[in-house]
Amino acid sequence: MRSARFVGENKIEIKDIELPTLFNEDDVIVKVTCCGLCGSDKRLFKEGSPYTPGHEIAGIVHKVGPKAQIKPGTRVIIYIPIFCGNCKFCLAGETNRCQHIDGLIGWQRDGGYAEYVLVPSKNLIPIPDDITDSDGVLLLDTVGTAAHAIRMATRLNVSPTSDSKVLVVGCGPLGLGTILTFQAMGYSEIYAVDPVEDRLTIAEEFGATRYTSDIDLKGEFSIVIEASGSAPGRKTAIYAVEPGGAVVILGESNDPFVIHPTPQLRRKDFYLIRSFYFNLNEVKDNIELYRKNQNSFQKLVSKIVTFDQLQDTFIEFSQGKTIKPFVKLNS
Is residue 279 situated within a structural domain? no
Same domain membership, residue 218 and residue 111: no
On whether residue 131 sits in a domain, the answer given is no
Shared-domain flag, residues 78 and 106: yes
Indicate whether 281 belongs to any domain: no
- Residue 33 maps to a domain: yes
Confidence of residue 330 (pLDDT cuts 50, 70, 90): confident
90 with 171, same domain?
no
Q: Summarize the confidence of residues 192-204 as an average pLDDT.
A: 95
Q: Report the CATH number that the domain containing residue 11 is assigned in CATH.
A: 3.90.180.10
Q: Is residue 78 part of a domain?
A: yes
**Cα distances (Å, whole numbers) of residue 164 to 2, 205, 239:** 49, 21, 17
Residue 288 reports pLDDT greater than 90: yes
* 50 and 96, same domain (yes or no): yes
Judge if 79 and 42 occupy the same domain: yes
249: containing domain: 143-274
In a domain, 285, yes or no: no
Residue 254, in any domain of the structure: yes
Task: Label residue 46 exposed, middle or buried (CB < 10 Å: 0-12, 13-18, 19+).
Answer: middle
138 within a domain of the structure (yes/no): no
Closest CA to 45 of 90, 18, 9: 9
Q: Are residues 117 and 162 in the same domain?
A: no
pLDDT of residue 300: 94
- Is 331 a residue whose pLDDT tops 70? no
- Report, as an integer, the average pLDDT of 62-68: 96
Q: Are residues 109 and 17 in the same domain?
A: yes
Query: How many domains in the chain?
Result: 2
264 and 147 co-located in one domain? yes
SS3 308: helix
Same domain, 113 and 195: no
Of the listed ranges 13-27, 29-43, 210-224, 264-278, the one predicted with least confidence = 210-224
Question: Looking at residue 171, which CATH number applies to its domain?
Answer: 3.40.50.720
| Same domain for 27 and 109 | yes
